[in-house]
């Protein structure tokens, strides 16, 4: 597809409020054993001692919403949105947790990154272990961990805004599929690949983060857990769960000249 330049749209400001703690969480899948929701960006999966006063906690709100005890089986970073799964009983939690630990769950993320990525590839680069300030403070030396991420370009664009050296800025929309599950793996791998994810305040490029904040009112990590395929904890049959993009994503992709309704199709057609 032709790579258009977009300049006129950049001055238009669109304010999109984050989902509040009073808004029901979007349920993507539910039966007697498994439930999956579309996690909003900025929400914790469960309570954290790092921010004990926060009220946007998925586990507590979802328990109240469905009126049942739930077991977390994996996690997403606070700024990441998308598919998040829980179990209704211990046996299901054990089955699902083992799948995530064994890296047998197929995971697909969407990410907007700096620069042009034009070919499919793989990043096979071990990552150092990131210690939890509380849970891991007494652990001894830990070796680097295997970490593998497959990436596939979906679209590229060039906008008539500068972050310093060049008069324009280039970006790519990627499908990312990690086969391991290291802490901050996708964010760290894309930084190592010199294509940091837009909105990443830890591993990203602050100049590009500022551009999207000032011209597009995007002040969050542009990483979305789009699709998960796992074996059902009871039947053993494969279950695929897809999390639609939220309004911020849809508005941004449209302003960058892409059709959000085709993004998932492009990814699945090449998976």
Q: Is 89 a catalytic residue?
A: no
Q: Which two tokens stand for residue 237?
A: 């049959």
Say how far apart CA 142 and CA 193 lie, in whole Å.
24
Say how far apart CA 191 and CA 221 lie, in whole Å.
13
The answer to whether 162 and 169 have CB atoms below 8 angstroms apart is: yes
The residue from 77, 200, 205, 246 that is catalytic is 77
Active site residues per annotation: 77
């Amino acid at each position: 597809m032709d790579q258009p330049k977009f300049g006129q749209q950049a001055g238009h400001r669109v304010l999109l409020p984050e989902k509040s703690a009073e808004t029901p969480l979007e349920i993507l899948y539910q039966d007697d054993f498994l439930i999956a929701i579309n996690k909003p960006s900025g929400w914790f999966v469960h309570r954290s001692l790092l921010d004990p006063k926060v009220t946007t906690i998925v586990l507590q709100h979802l328990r109240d919403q469905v009126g049942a005890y739930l077991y977390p089986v994996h996690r997403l970073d606070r700024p990441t949105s998308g598919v998040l799964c829980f179990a209704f009983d211990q046996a299901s939690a054990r089955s699902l947790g083992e799948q995530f630990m064994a890296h047998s769950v197929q995971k697909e993320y969407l990410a907007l990154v700096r620069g042009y990525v034009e070919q499919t590839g793989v990043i096979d680069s071990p990552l150092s272990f990131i210690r939890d300030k509380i849970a891991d403070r007494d652990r001894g030396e830990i070796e680097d961990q295997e970490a593998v991420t497959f990436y596939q370009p979906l679209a590229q664009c060039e906008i008539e805004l500068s972050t310093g050296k060049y008069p324009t800025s280039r970006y790519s929309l990627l499908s990312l599929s990690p086969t391991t599950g290291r802490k901050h793996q996708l964010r760290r791998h894309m930084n190592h690949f010199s294509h940091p994810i837009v909105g990443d305040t830890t591993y990203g490029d602050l100049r590009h983060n500022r551009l999207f904040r000032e011209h597009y009112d995007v002040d969050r990590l542009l990483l979305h857990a789009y699709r998960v395929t796992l074996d059902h904890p009871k039947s053993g049959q494969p279950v695929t769960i897809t999390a639609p993009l939220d309004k911020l994503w849809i508005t941004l992709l449209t302003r960058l000249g892409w059709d959000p309704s085709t993004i998932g199709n492009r990814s699945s057609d090449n998976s």
